[in-house]
Chains A and B, each alone.
Chain A
Amino acid sequence: MPKSALGIAIVLLLVFIGIGYYLVMNGMIGMLGFEALIGIIIGGVLIAFGVHFVPVGGAPAAMGQAPGIATGVAMLAAGAGLAGVFGGAWAAPLGLWVALGAGAVGGGLLMAITCMMVNVTYVFAMGIPAASGKVDKDPITGDSQPEYKSQGTEGHGLPFISYVGGVIGGILGGLGGTLIYMQLLAVYTDMLPALMNASADQIMPIAISMAGIFAIGMFLVNAVLTAYNITGTIEGPHDPKFKRAPRAVVASAVASALCGLMAILIVVPL
């Protein structure tokens, strides 16, 4: 990672966190808002890191030319992460930790089912076994890969390591998305009653809707940003491209800090 870029990123991150702290010092937001900003940054980083685990093959996978799931990085991760946010939001009244657990499992379950159906299609409809193009042996099962790769392709389907990567990616995505949702919900339920001069019950639908739409938006920001880092396809945690993850983690921390600040500022009375 270039040092100058890292330096700029760290400065930007500190500036955004500094603005958040300044708002707390001036009493414009409570300490809850600052904690939410930190939570949002952690959530964004979890999403960006999680997307690297998801095996995405894009167009080549649709022709059985490369391993992975035959769709785009950002959208597949978004599908899993948003299913996680759905589960997390449902469990929100039971507390932060249960909601985070429900969100993580929701994302992981979507990926577990989807990845299994990918292999069902390859194996039972197309007669093609799974094979990785990046490693000679599956790091988990030890299965040899090169001889199961058909001629003129880079591999196909989802070897077990890619399957596990997909589930981990879904879990991290659901966890990160739910963390962002829960933090924003806490800020909005805290600040909206005074801002709108209404009771907590009255503002609840607005708070839930705003937190939900911002969580979805921030999920897409982090997933798309990570897709640029991956550039095309990735097989999962065993892919050499996985080593690029720190770059996306830093970038997503900065992007999440800015987005989080904006999401909090809209409820600050000026």
Chain B
Amino acid sequence: MENIVLGIGVAALAGALATVAGAAEDTESDIGSQGDPNSQVQLAPQMGYMHRIFNKAIAGEPPAWGLWITIGAGVAWAFMVMNINPVLAIILGSVLASFIQGVYSTTAYLGRTASLAKFGQPVYIDILKSVTSVTVAHAFVGIFATVTACYLMNAVLGHPFPLPILGIVWGIALGAAGSATGNPFYGKERQYQNQKFGAGVPISASGNIVRYAEAGERSSLDNGWFTSKMGGPASGLCFGLIVFFELWRTVIFEPINHGWGAVIIGVVLILIFMALDRWIEVWARKTYGPYTKAEVQEEAA
């Protein structure tokens, strides 16, 4: 009984850590244009729109986060093998991984922006100085929280994978969850804030991203401020739910029916989320209504 109570507590703690990690991951990714909207940041100068937006996307969000978290987890694991206190080991691993994220961000921004020289886009050194450190800080939060969650899975819940492999698995999953949930909010709502609300960006508007703020030119730090209101927390909720339910169903229901209990609960959870999604879809159709009348009605009229 005590084991189960401990397991539930650890699952909840890992879920909470994952929520923090997801929020930090998405905010870091939006400040650095790491996700898919980077295509618009890169396209804008080619269409004649110069800007001061940071762009460090030289790898997709999931593999980039997979790399940083694996480095953090790997270094922490190596320190733990050397009998260093786990808390200190995880902090040291996360610091080193954040440092590598900083090197990655610097070279990626310089490389991506310098490639736009023939379109007249300058490389701003002040952007490099002010924005890189903010992405590194967010990356540290994301890496530390995820590596700690991985450590709990391995050391307390007894998952057989060693810490570095858990780092690969959950690093890629974190990037996948964060980019899936957070990218549309940054790409549509922030980059194309001048387009109509409640509709997709017309393909003809591609590249015409918002480049000016209330005063002066828009900075990527403003993008982090904006997306942390919705994209960040939504990504956090997404990753937190994934980690929590994955652990919770195994910890509590695996002893039932030789492991099939956890599988059945997983299926039930999938069906519940499916029903919720359908409710959201129907709610949107009823509340927002169609953009145009159905073709059949037009023909009848």
Contact = CB atoms under 8 A, between A and B. Distances in A.
Whether A and B are associated in the same complex: the answer reads: yes
Interface of A: 58-65, 69-72, 75-76, 78-80, 82-83, 85-87, 89-92, 94-95, 98, 101-102, 105-106, 108-110, 112-130, 141, 143-144, 146-160, 163-164, 167, 205, 208-209, 212-213, 216
B273 A112 contact: yes
A146 B291 CA distance: 9
A246 to B, nearest CB: 26
Determine the main DSSP class of B at the interface with A: helix
Interface of B: 35-37, 39-40, 60-63, 159-162, 165-166, 168-170, 172-173, 175-177, 179-189, 191-192, 196-206, 230-231, 234-235, 237-238, 241-242, 245-246, 249-250, 254, 258-260, 262-263, 266-267, 269-270, 273-274, 276-278, 280-281, 283-285, 288, 290-295
**Top 7 A-B pairs, shortest CB-CB distance:** A79-B176, A152-B202, A64-B200, A62-B187, A105-B266, A127-B198, A150-B199
A159 B277 CA distance: 9
Contacts of A129: 281, 284-285, 288
B183 A70 contact: yes
B179 A125 contact: no
B238 to A, nearest CB: 4
A264 to B, nearest CB: 20
25 contacts: A63-B206, A64-B184, A65-B200, A71-B176, A72-B36, A82-B169, A82-B173, A86-B166, A86-B170, A91-B250, A95-B258, A109-B242, A110-B246, A113-B242, A114-B181, A117-B237, A126-B185, A126-B188, A128-B199, A129-B284, A146-B295, A158-B281, A163-B281, A213-B165, A216-B169
A65 B235 CA distance: 21
A102 B263 contact: yes
A84 B231 CA distance: 25
Contact of A82 (B172, B249, B288): B172
B285 A94 contact: no
Given A62-B36, A86-B246, A208-B160, A78 B172 contact: yes
A164 B185 contact: no
Contacts of A163: 274, 277-278, 281
B217 to A, nearest CB: 21
